[in-house]
Each structure stands twice: as C-alpha cells, then as structure tokens.
Amino acid sequence: MKKRITAIFFYGLFWLSFFVLARLIFILTQYREAFEFSTASLLLTFRHGMLLDFSAVGYVMIIPLLLLIPEIYFNWDWYSKFVKWYTYIILAISSAIVISDTLLYKYWGFRMDYTPLIYLKTPKAAMASVTTFQFFAVLTTIILLSALFIYLYRKLINGLFEGFERVRLWFAAMLFFLVLWGSLLIPIRGGIGIAPINAGTVYFSDEMFLNHAAINVVWNVGSSVFNQKPVRNPYQFVDTAEAKAITDSLIKSTGEPVKLLNNSRPNILMIVIESFGSAFIEPLSGDSLTTPFFNRYIKEGILFSHFYASGNRTDKAIPAILCGYPAQPAVSVMKEPQKTQSLPGIVKDMEKQGYNSSFWYGGEINFANFNSFVKNAGFDQVITMDNFSPEFYNSKWGVHDHVLLAALRDSMKNIEEPFIKVVLTLSSHEPFEVPMDPVFKGSDDFTKFRNSIHYTDRSLGEFLDWARTTGWWKNTLVVLVADHCRRNSTDIQEYSEEIYKIPMLWLGGALAQTGITIEKTGSQVDIPLTILRQLGLDGDYPFSKDLLSAGSGSFAFYTFNEGFGFITDSSKYIYEHKLGDSVIREGKDPDTAGRNGKAFLQVLYDDFLKR
C-alpha cells in the first residue's frame, strides 16, 4: 500500500517537473521578449501557471491511477510496463507540442492549440513554411527532451512501480485509491469553485507575453482538441464578395449622427444587468411592478426601445457590448484568448483619449475566460469577488449586487476624471438567491427570477439616486443595458425573440435632451460605435453601426446555438442551421431579411476563423 502511494506521488511530481521545465524552455526560446521583463515578473508566470500545470498532471494520471485500483486485487505483473510505455508515449507527444510551440509562437503570437493538426492533413503545404534547418532543429530538440525525461523516468520513477506487494486489506486499499482517483477532478477543474479552469485563468498581467508564458501549452492543445471548433465556415451561403457587400451596406453610417450629448468628453459608466429583459420594463410592454426604479428613470433618460442582445449568454454579450463583436452560433470568442486579443474595443479607444478604465464584477473572473478577456480589453483596474471579504460571499456566484454597488459608490466619492467604468451585475442569475424578503409570492422558478430582478432594480436605483448628487454626474453618460434575457417558460424556444429583446437606457448629466425614445432597431454590437461618434471619434468596428446615424440600417442580428435571428422594422427571419431553413418568417419582406442575415453570419464567421 505504502509503495503504491509513494509511486503515485512521485509520478505526479515527475510530470509537474516536466511542465515547469517546459515553461522555462518557452521563456528561454522567446528571450527577445522575455528579457524585457524582470526576473520577478517571469517567476510569476510559474506561480500563476501552476494551476494549469496541476490540471495537466491530473489528466495524465487518470489512466495509471484508474488501472491501479483493480491492480491491487489482481497484482498484475504487466502494470509497471504499461505505465512505462504510457509515459514514454505521452512524453513524446508532450515534447513535440512543447518544442513546436516555441517555433510557432514567434509567428503566431499565441500559444499553440489544435490549429497545427489541421495542417498535418496536407504535410507538403505545412512543410513549405518551415526551413530544413528549422525542421531538423525542432525534431532534434524534441528527441533530446523526450530522451532526457525518459532517462529520468527510468532512473527515478520506474522502479517505484515494480514489485508491488499483495495487500491483505485489498477492499480498503481499492476504496482509498478510488477516492484518490476521483479527487483528480479537483486539480483538473482547477479547484472546487463553480467555474472550471480555462486558459484565461492564469492571466495575471497587463503584458500579454507574461500571460502567454503562464499557459501550459500541452493542456492548451488538449483542451482545444477536445473542444474543437470548425476550421471552415459552415455558414457559406453566397459568394464571399457578395456577402461582404451586403454586410457593408447594412452597417455603413453616412452623415453626422443626431447629437444627444452636451459635450464630447463625458465620463462613461456602463452597467450591464444580468438577464434584465424587456418583459419587465413597463414602457416596453412589460409589467409595472418588477422594475419600478428603471421605469422611473426612463422619464429622465433616453430609451432605446427596439434593442436586442447579441446572444443568450453573458460571455456572448460582453464582447458585443465592449468590442462591437457579434455572438457566434455554437462558439464563443471570449473563450479563445488569442482571438479576443485582436478585437477592437471601446475601452482601448477611450484610453487613447486619456480615460481611466475599470471593470467591476462581483463574481468569479475566471468563468468563461472573463479574466483573459478583460486583460485583452485593456482595463486599467479589475475588481472581482477576490477584492471582497469572504463574509460578503453570500451568493453562489459571488457578492450580491448591493455589496458590489456600495463598493463602487465608495470608490467614486473621489474619482479622477475622465473615466470609463464597466459594471456587470450577477444577483439575477440562477439560482436567484437574493438578500431580501420576497415581493412576489410563490416558489416557482419564474417568481424567484422576478424577485431577483426586483432586488437588482432596487440596488441600481439606490446607486443612481446617490450618483445624481455627486459632482461627476453632470459630466457623465450612464448606459444601462441587459446582457440578455432568459427562457421564462418551456413554450419559449431557444431562438425566440423574447430571449433577446432587452432595454438600453442612457442617463446622466451629459445628456443634452431627456425623456425621449429611440425607435431604431439595433443591438449590443452597435454600442461602441454609437458612443464614439457622439464624442466625435470613430473606430474600426466591422460589425457595428451608429444607431444615431440616418444612413445606417435599422436591424438587429442575434445568434443561438444553431442559427440566427434577423429583425428589422418590418420583418423577422429566424434560421436554424441543422434544419437548413427558417423556423420563423414574418413581416413584409422576410426573404430579404433572410438574405441579409445569412450574409452577415457568413462574413462574421469568416472573420472569427481568421482571428
């Protein structure tokens, strides 16, 4: 029993040593970039990267530890030979990944994923990009790294797996190792929290190279292989040039926009509200009781009444809101750090104008790669649940909205202007546990959700009531927008318009006029360009239109897992890709709406694949 425990312990340590050395190899081979940073900064890549290293070790140990359980009873002679050859094979594969990555990173600027495997289908074309010297240098180094660790395994580890004694209390021993095997889930997931580990978990710096160095490249390749995305556009409807022409005609903004702001350098406070759908907003044909504060503030602001979410999840909404980048069916750009680092963004654009930036979220920042996204987006400061005392962790997702907004309020009592702040709420997310007595009676899911929306509305209202008394309010544009809505009954399909129709409300002293409604149809994707053009600025947002320009199209495009919806002032077209046809066609000219939506999706996915 003791010998088996010792063998497993040192086997895990062996693999951890391999992954630590792999990171050192990466840093040394990228010395031109690496040596621009201090030794302390480079050491932090090992500290933060350890989470992915432990996860990779957990994956490697799944099979050896699983087979060890029946081995206790059967006392297999071949077990040590199996572990030896299993290790040799994984070492060879891992070494190939580690060394190949050191070459590819110089060209790609991001850590290796499954992409090179695509090119192996055409080896001649793949080799055309590599010199003979590079090929043999990489091959030789792979062999040397593999040989080194094979030697270390034979010298230090192999003997530990030989000569296992029979165990008298075999049932207890098997139970122990079964529990141990199950506990591998902890390092594999990166802990016991809600959010499983992802590449963005190890991002810790504003310097992208340091974040990249922290990634365990073997883990990264394995993760991308098992979560492989299409490498060819599955939404190829028309000629590429035709699709691009249609898309460009939809988003072009001609002429000066209607000016709704009284100055060109306002502060920007953007509050993204979890699941805050139009069904709860009275002026949008919703009820009058759920969101009384929001309903009141509509009279003091500018309401965008025909407004839509880009997708049905927060990880799809945030890139749309901040980067003007639409959600994609089945995939999420936020989950791919190498893609999000290439996105445009309003935070980057405002920082060029001298704005201070911060992102506020009371939850787990590693969920769905949020961490890497906010780093790539360029925020100066990121506040998460880690910035709060555990005594405030009174929600499954983190700290409640009133706690987050109270901290935000305290931070803004003395604040340097101009600023752009982005706040993401969370209390109206499942399981809808909020710190207030229920206003609406009932224990069903919808009533709980409605109570959580009421709580968030109250928390926001109290914050806004305070904000109006501050000195910075008179020069601030406040943007309230939902991330999406949700299915409030089983009658609602995943593609239903109700899930995507959301409010956007502009408030603040920077508004030149109030109490008006903008009826032009638009979506979250349009937010960055619309705001920038109000400030007399522009930006490179290939899918964003200016909602306040007469020349841009009046439409909204959203996606669900296997299709898209395209909404105009007079038509509605919803397409299901597996079906290969529309599921809803309504209005005066749904055929044109369908053609436009397909072209938009085609161009979007081409862009997604190229990033």
- pLDDT profile of the chain (611 residues), mean per 10: 94 98 97 94 97 98 97 93 98 97 83 73 59 89 98 97 89 94 95 84 88 95 82 93 96 87 97 96 92 96 98 95 96 90 96 97 86 94 94 84 97 96 95 93 94 98 98 98 88 87 98 96 98 95 94 94 94 91 95 98 97 91
Total of domains in the chain: 2
What is the C-alpha to C-alpha distance for residues 236 and 373, in angstroms, rounded to an integer? 28
Q: Work out whether strand 504-507 and strand 476-482 pair parallel, antiparallel, or are unpaired.
A: antiparallel
The residue out of 176, 197, 226 marking a domain boundary is: 226
pLDDT at 118: 61
The residue out of 192, 226, 260 marking a domain boundary is: 226
Residues 213 and 252 in one domain: no
Residues 214 and 259 in one domain: no
What is the C-alpha to C-alpha distance for residues 226 and 374, in angstroms, rounded to an integer? 25
Assess if residue 520 is contained within a domain.
yes
Residues 402 and 462 in one domain: yes
E strand or H helix that includes residue 479: strand 476-482
Range of the domain at 427: 240-610
Assess if residue 424 is contained within a domain.
yes
Cα atoms in the 13 Å half-sphere on the side-chain side of 569: 6
Contact 246, 593 (CB under 8 A): no
The residue out of 171, 204, 226 marking a domain boundary is: 226
Assess if residue 232 is contained within a domain.
no
Rounded alpha-carbon distances, angstroms, from residue 241 to 127, 250, 601, 603, 611: 31, 14, 14, 9, 19
Specify the residue for token string 């522009």.
538
Largest separation between any pair of C-alpha atoms in the chain? 85
Residues 65 and 119 in one domain: yes
DSSP state at residue 128: T
Contact 436, 479 (CB under 8 A): no
- Among candidate residues 374, 35, 19, the one with its CA nearest the CA of residue 220: 19
Rounded alpha-carbon distances, angstroms, from residue 119 to 97, 115, 164, 210, 611: 14, 7, 45, 28, 17
What is the C-alpha to C-alpha distance for residues 217 and 21, in angstroms, rounded to an integer? 12
Rounded alpha-carbon distances, angstroms, from residue 395 to 340, 382, 385: 29, 20, 11
What is the C-alpha to C-alpha distance for residues 362 and 388, in angstroms, rounded to an integer? 8
Assess if residue 463 is contained within a domain.
yes
Alpha-helical regions (H) of 75-131: 79-108, 115-119, 123-127
Contact 308, 524 (CB under 8 A): yes
pLDDT at 128: 53
Residues 262 and 221 in one domain: no
Rounded alpha-carbon distances, angstroms, from residue 269 to 128, 401, 409, 443, 546: 50, 16, 12, 35, 19
What is the C-alpha to C-alpha distance for residues 367 and 545, in angstroms, rounded to an integer? 29
pLDDT at 123: 66
Residues 286 and 221 in one domain: no
Residues 153 and 6 in one domain: yes
Residues 403 and 287 in one domain: yes
Residues 597 and 529 in one domain: yes
Residues 84 and 174 in one domain: yes
- Whether a cis peptide bond, with omega within 30° of 0, leads into 329 is no
The angle at the Cα of 259, spanning 253 to 261, to the nearest 5 degrees, equals 130
Assess if residue 166 is contained within a domain.
yes
Assess if residue 234 is contained within a domain.
no
Where b means 16+ CB within 10 Å and e means fewer, 220-252 reads: bbbbbeeeeeeeebebeeeeeeebbebbeebbe
Q: Give just the sign of the alpha carbon dihedral 122, 123, 128, 130.
A: positive
Assess if residue 97 is contained within a domain.
yes
SS3 60: helix
What is the C-alpha to C-alpha distance for residues 418 and 415, in angstroms, rounded to an integer? 9
* Token pair in block for residue 555: 């439409």
* Ordered DSSP codes for 578-611: TTTEEEEEEES-HHHHHHHHHHHHHHHHHHHHH-
Rounded alpha-carbon distances, angstroms, from residue 502 to 276, 279, 487, 565: 7, 8, 13, 14
What is the C-alpha to C-alpha distance for residues 475 and 514, in angstroms, rounded to an integer? 15
* Token pair in block for residue 4: 């088996």
Assess if residue 235 is contained within a domain.
no
Residues 123 and 194 in one domain: yes
Residues 301 and 426 in one domain: yes
pLDDT at 126: 58
The whole-angstrom distance between residue 192's C-alpha and the CA centroid of its chain comes to 20
DSSP state at residue 256: P
Contact 271, 480 (CB under 8 A): yes
- Whether a cis peptide bond, with omega within 30° of 0, leads into 542 is no
